[in-house]
């Protein structure tokens, strides 16, 4: 490490979305509202799935896993941001930054794994309906969830260890509202080339197969839909898959695009603003997308609310 390195007492300064003091109350109220809606909405999905026996199917099992992951994902970023705005502080400790990076990637990658598994689930349900319960049995669902969690934890651990081996100057400024990995690497006083190589190798080894799996599943699903003669059947399938397609589009168009562009372009506040889409807005929208377009979920939510207010 460099002689001037103060990693043991290092603090990063998160510049946030804006340094204008007049905008801070507005940002605080906006992000607090979105965070509360996100947590409450995803929690309702988990409660609805667990309380309604009709939703004890592979599709809703993975949906509840996704909702839990979204709650944790938002909680990794937004509360610290709100504290910094409220206290007019931009600081995050070295340990806090490493911790944030770890949980950010744990639940970020978990979202991507779960979306791929959910695409496979819809592929089996629509293209092989007679074998659905055999192929998507409880043992396989549990195994897919376990693999998704395990790989996410391992990737997050790898990224965190990468940062631990870097040296930093004191009071480094990060033009972001959380410890985004590429911005942290740019702030390093040591050569981070090997870190970039490792990071994009992992993205290639995991991201490309995940995207391929999703594209393959939905190409088969669309092909099956086009072969259907019944208009009602087509509508039912589109209703079943439409919510999932919207969520996938939001995640990959914003998350992957912003992340890759930030790695190859100079630091900019525009990247931080765009990151709001996949770190805050998408987890908030998921409950609405899945509940408003899903008849079974709406029924389960009505049942949950009626039981809550008028318990038997």
Nearest Cα to Cα of residue 97 among 176, 34, 208: 176
Tell me the per-residue pLDDT of 59-70, one tens digit each, with 9 for 90 and over. 999 999 999 999
Q: 84-103: string of b/e by CB count within 10 Å (b at 16+)?
A: bbeeeebebebeebbbbbbb
The per-residue pLDDT for 227 is 77
Residue 4 has what pLDDT? 43
Domains of the chain and CATH, by start? 7-306 (1.20.1070.10)
User: 120 near 213, Cβ under 8 Å?
Assistant: yes
CB-based contacts of 248: which residues, under 8 Å, 6+ apart? 115, 119, 214
CB 107 within 8 A of CB 69: yes
Mean pLDDT of 31-52: 92
Sorted by sequence, the CB contacts under 8 Å of residue 291 that are 6+ apart come out as 41, 44, 45, 297, 298, 301
Q: What is the pTM of this model?
A: 0.87
* pLDDT value of position 170: 64
Asked whether the beta carbons of 110 and 94 are under 8 A apart, the reply is no
Give burial (CB, 10 Å; 0-12/13-18/19+) of 183: buried
What is the distance between the alpha carbons of residues 117 and 109, in angstroms, rounded to a whole number? 12
- Quote the pLDDT of residue 236: 66
Q: What is the pLDDT of residues 106-123, one digit of tens each?
A: 999 999 999 999 999 989
Residue with tokens 């994902």: 73
Q: What six digits make up the tokens of 279?
A: 């770190």
Please report where in the chains the tokens 């309702």 appear, as a residue: 44
Residue 259: both structure tokens together: 């992340």
State the Cα–Cα distance between residues 68 and 114, nearest whole angstrom.
Answer: 11
Give residue 33's pLDDT: 95
| CA atoms of 236 and 205, how far apart (whole Å) | 35
């Amino acid at each position: 490490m460099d002689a001037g390195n103060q990693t043991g007492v290092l603090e990063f300064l998160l510049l946030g979305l804006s340094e204008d003091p007049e905008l801070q109350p507005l940002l605080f109220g906006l992000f607090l509202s979105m965070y509360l809606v996100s947590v409450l909405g995803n929690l309702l999905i988990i409660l609805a799935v667990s309380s309604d026996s009709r939703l004890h199917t592979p599709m809703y099992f993975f949906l509840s896993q996704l909702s839990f992951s979204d709650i944790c994902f938002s909680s990794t970023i937004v509360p610290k941001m709100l504290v910094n705005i409220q206290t007019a502080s931009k600081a995050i400790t070295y340990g806090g930054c490493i911790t944030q990076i770890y949980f950010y990637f744990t639940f970020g990658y978990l979202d991507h794994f779960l979306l791929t598994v959910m695409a496979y689930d819809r592929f089996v349900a629509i293209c092989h309906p007679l074998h659905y319960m055999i192929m998507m049995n409880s043992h396989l669902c549990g195994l897919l969830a376990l693999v998704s969690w395990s790989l996410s934890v391992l990737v997050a651990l790898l990224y965190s260890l990468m940062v631990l081996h870097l040296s930093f100057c004191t009071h480094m400024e990060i033009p972001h509202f959380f410890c985004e990995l590429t911005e942290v690497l740019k702030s390093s006083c040591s050569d981070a080339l090997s870190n970039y190589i490792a990071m994009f190798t992992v993205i290639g080894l995991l991201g490309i197969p995940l995207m391929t799996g999703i594209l393959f599943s939905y190409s088969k699903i669309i092909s099956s839909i086009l072969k259907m003669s019944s208009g009602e059947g087509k509508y039912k399938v589109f209703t079943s898959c439409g919510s999932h397609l919207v969520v996938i589009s939001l995640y990959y168009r914003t998350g992957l695009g912003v992340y890759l562009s930030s790695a190859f372009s100079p630091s900019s506040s525009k990247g931080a603003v765009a990151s709001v889409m996949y770190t805050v807005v998408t987890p908030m929208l998921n409950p609405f997308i899945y509940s408003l377009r899903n008849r079974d979920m709406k029924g389960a939510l009505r049942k949950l609310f009626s039981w809550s207010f008028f318990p038997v």
